[in-house]
A and B are shown apart, each in its own frame.
Chain A
Amino acid sequence: MKKELLEKIIEKKNKKIEFSIITNLENGNGCIFQKNEPLDKNFEKYKKEIADQFKRKRNGIIDGTNIFVENYISPIKVIVVGAVHISQYLVNFAKNLNFEISIIDPRGYFASEQRFPNINIINKWPKEAFKEIKTDENTALIALTHDPKIDDPALQHALKNNFFYIGALGSKKTHSNRCNRLKESGFSDERIKKIFGPIGIKLGGKSAPEIALSIIAQLVSEVYKKQ
């Protein structure tokens, strides 16, 4: 692999662009495939097959050839509401698991650069914050403030936009009150049931890193369920 190709790959990865690395196993040549971009003429012959593997996100050698395709897909977006202690551990887990985290918290003391270096922190109320983040059914929401003023608008946004994972921190009682409020706002029981509350898988731990672990474990498990 040429050094220039490696640099291009890292650049595209950092920009969260979806692409494939194409390698000719016979002569060691490589290039990048990207939708709607011209393909290296040495690989023109396999254009259809490459595009097909890219579309299906299938990594591997194209049948009957010596062309290897490896796809890079943009990371799953995870929006955390509440720049709290648990979030500091969540951020670290998410880094290794390649989730793309954004944190929303209108409280300035919480949402500080010092507490969350190099993280996209939006120091605004959820309603305003969601104008800045593109979300869809591949987005996850983790609501951690257990303050209805902050969590509820975010949960409503996630339910309306059909996020694939929605979790909210709080005891069974807190969660039941939350469900009642959402029902009053017009959400159906079926919809509300999609919220994981109390959030996380049962590990038994009560410390911030343990709760973060239980949340991230539930999130990963939901990613695979949706495959």
Chain B
Amino acid sequence: MKNSFDEKILDEAKDWLSSNQKVVLATVIQTWGSSPRQVGSRMIVNDKGDFSGSVSGGCVETAVVRECLGLIKEKQLFKKIEFRVSNESAWEVGLACGGEIAIFLEQID
């Protein structure tokens, strides 16, 4: 038995779009080891750096926001990013869980 426990992030993305904000969708596509959020977890980021949802337990969200803002600035449509324990610059506050995650960023256009 399974429930979807849908977090309504996509619904929120639609609301943001209708108020003329640029929106980047970030989705966890792969995890290794003990990562806090499962595959399919999402967050959205707008052109001001506001975000909603999560892709980790607060470990990488800051870095993801920065990447999303870069995507908007460079008018890039999508990008895959990975976070590892060794990637120290990304883990500003340190990665307590020791997991690794891959995240797909895509502009909604």
Q: Which B residues, 55 to 104, have Cβ-Cβ distances below 8 Å to chain A?
A: 77-78, 80, 104
In the bound assembly, the distance between CA atoms of A3 and B3 in angstroms comes to 26
Known: A59-B39, A223-B1. A1 touches B108 (CB 8 A): yes
Instruction: Decide if A75 touches B39 in the complex (CB within 8 Å).
Output: no
Instruction: Decide if B1 touches A164 in the complex (CB within 8 Å).
Output: yes
Instruction: Decide if A3 touches B10 in the complex (CB within 8 Å).
Output: no
Complex: chain A residue closest to B105, CB-CB: A28
Complex: chain A residue closest to B7, CB-CB: A98
**Which residues does A use to contact B, with CB under 8 Å?**
1-3, 6-7, 9-10, 13, 23, 25, 28, 57, 59-61, 68, 70, 72-76, 97-99, 138, 164, 223, 226-227
7 closest A-B pairs by CB: A226-B1, A28-B78, A59-B40, A59-B39, A76-B3, A98-B6, A70-B40
**Which residues does B use to contact A, with CB under 8 Å?**
1-6, 10-11, 13-14, 17, 25, 27, 29-30, 38-40, 77-78, 80, 104, 106-109
Known: A60-B29, A227-B1. A10 touches B14 (CB 8 A): yes
Query: B21 to nearest A CB, angstroms?
Result: 12
In the bound assembly, the distance between CA atoms of A74 and B29 in angstroms comes to 21
In the bound assembly, the distance between CA atoms of A28 and B106 in angstroms comes to 7
